[in-house]
Structure 1
Amino acid sequence: MDLSLVEGFSKSLAMTVLSEIGDKTFFAAAILAMRYPRRLVLSGCLSALIVMTALSVFFGWAAPNLISRKWTHSITTLLFFGFGIWSLWEGFTEQGEAEELSEVEAKLDADWKANSVGAKAGSKDDDDLKKQLRPFLTQFFSPIFLKAFSITFFGEWGDKSQIATIGLAADENPLGVILGGIIGQALCTTAAVFGGKSLASQISERVVALSSGVLFIVFGIQSLLSVPLPGS
């Protein structure tokens, strides 16, 4: 098996798991699964994360074709060190799990309250129309699926793990990065849906943050010591 594929896969898998455990999207999936059918929440969240991973890898793969390989390699190295310091800072200052969980819960509660008020304000005719349209619409997408997808997709956009995936794909085998990222996202999302809140309470957010920080620093050192592949 191609060594670059294995290296890209292992780096992406480790980075994704350590970045996503206790993240906003992790808690969002856990909370949604407590109120809605798990299969719909899992499929919606996982679909969003797969799309996000594929887009990130594509951007990372395309970057060396638009910018000099030397520049993308240098940017990736700086990103690894930057995210490593960021994660270590979060770990030492113990900012994370409780703050993330309360923030996600507050946003979702506000959303549910707004939806319930809007539903009560609707007339009987509106309800009858919704009942007629629902069988047609659910043949394509469930509202729960769409909610889980949108919350996860926009919650992950611009996140540390997304930017790190772009940098990793620019410096490693893109196929290995996307496979490792998707498998890592699948593991984290499944864990979140089937008991994420209890799992998060048993795992120290500080340990996760420090571990991911060390991992990013190691990636940065490895990238600093390696020679960029020849490119434009």
Structure 2
Amino acid sequence: MDLAALALTFGAIFVVELPDKTFLATLVLATRYRPLLVWIGVGLAFTVQTAIAVGLGQAASLLPQDLVRGIAAALFLAGAVVLVREGRRHLRAGSEVDDGADEYDAAPASAVGWRAVLASFLVLFAAEWGDLSQLLTLSLVARYEAPLSVFVGALAALLTVSALAVIVGRSLLRIVAVHVLHFVGAGVCVLLATLTVVELVR
């Protein structure tokens, strides 16, 4: 277990996902179903998606190392651009907690028990497919060649973000502006891109 890769992955995914739709989707679902059932459902979705991203990253690591680093740097920079754009959009519009909440209203409000778990799983699995966190996870696996450490770090970050959404979602968004979180996440992506380019040049 590479603890450095684990910690870096946790920090990067946590900062990137905290202002993302992962947080919002979990928050909205937790108003419809029992919060624990929502957390279990989204946790299962994150487990499957993270495993897929790690598998793809492991396959990508078989490519020439310089090519992998170049692609990883490009993905980190693309993530920074996406986060800056989202941050500017939230800054202009004002950070609304319910912004985009309608996207997740398709889930049946009457679902209970395993049905609520399944509904939460399906909503998050569909909403988060190809998300920035998946791309970053893939890039981190290819860059560090530590699939288990990246898997544990990424999944722990996603479970922590979803737990925060379930427990203190609305209160947290009143304290910390969403656009600030986007800009911090962009800064993390730029840092990762810079480190990757430095390694590539060397």
2:66 is matched with: 70
1:21 maps to a residue whose letter is L
1:74 maps to a residue whose letter is G
Structure 1 residue 222 corresponds to structure 2 residue 195? yes
CA distance in 1, matches of 2:75, 2:92: 21
Q: How large is the Cα RMSD of the aligned pairs?
A: 2.5
* TM-score, length basis structure 2: 0.87
SS of equivalent residue, structure 1 residue 36: coil
Selected match of 1:41 from 29, 38, 43: 38
Deviation of 1:193 after TM superposition, in Å, equals 1.0
Deviation of 1:28 after TM superposition, in Å, equals 1.4
Superposition misfits of 4+ residues, deviation over 3 angstroms: 95-101
CA distance in 2, matches of 1:13, 1:79: 17
Deviation of 1:57 after TM superposition, in Å, equals 1.0
Structure 2: segments with no counterpart, 5+ residues: none
Deviation of 1:177 after TM superposition, in Å, equals 0.9
CA distance in 1, matches of 2:97, 2:132: 14
- Cα deviations by residue, 1:131-178 (Å, 9 ceiling, x for unpaired): xxxxxxx9xx71111110011111110111111111111111222211
Say if 1:22 and 1:97, in contact at 8 Å, map to a contact too: no
Deviation of 1:80 after TM superposition, in Å, equals 1.1
CA distance in 2, matches of 1:202, 1:163: 29
1:163 maps to a residue whose letter is L
Say if 1:79 and 1:164, in contact at 8 Å, map to a contact too: yes
Say if 1:18 and 1:211, in contact at 8 Å, map to a contact too: yes
Structure 1 residue 160 corresponds to structure 2 residue 157? no
* TM-score, length basis structure 1: 0.77
SS of equivalent residue, structure 2 residue 3: helix
Q: Which protein shows a greater Rg?
A: 1
CA distance in 2, matches of 1:208, 1:89: 12
The alignment of Structure 1 onto Structure 2 pairs a total of residues equal to 199
- Cα deviations by residue, 1:22-42 (Å, 9 ceiling, x for unpaired): 321211111111221122111
User: Quick one: structure 1 residues 33 and 148, their matched pair in 2 at CA, closer, same or farther if it must change by over 3 Å?
Assistant: same
User: Quick one: structure 1 residues 146 and 74, their matched pair in 2 at CA, closer, same or farther if it must change by over 3 Å?
Assistant: same
Structure 1 residue 197 corresponds to structure 2 residue 170? yes
CA distance in 1, matches of 2:165, 2:34: 13
Identity in percent: 25
Structure 1 residue 149 corresponds to structure 2 residue 121? yes
SS of equivalent residue, structure 1 residue 194: helix
SS of equivalent residue, structure 1 residue 102: coil
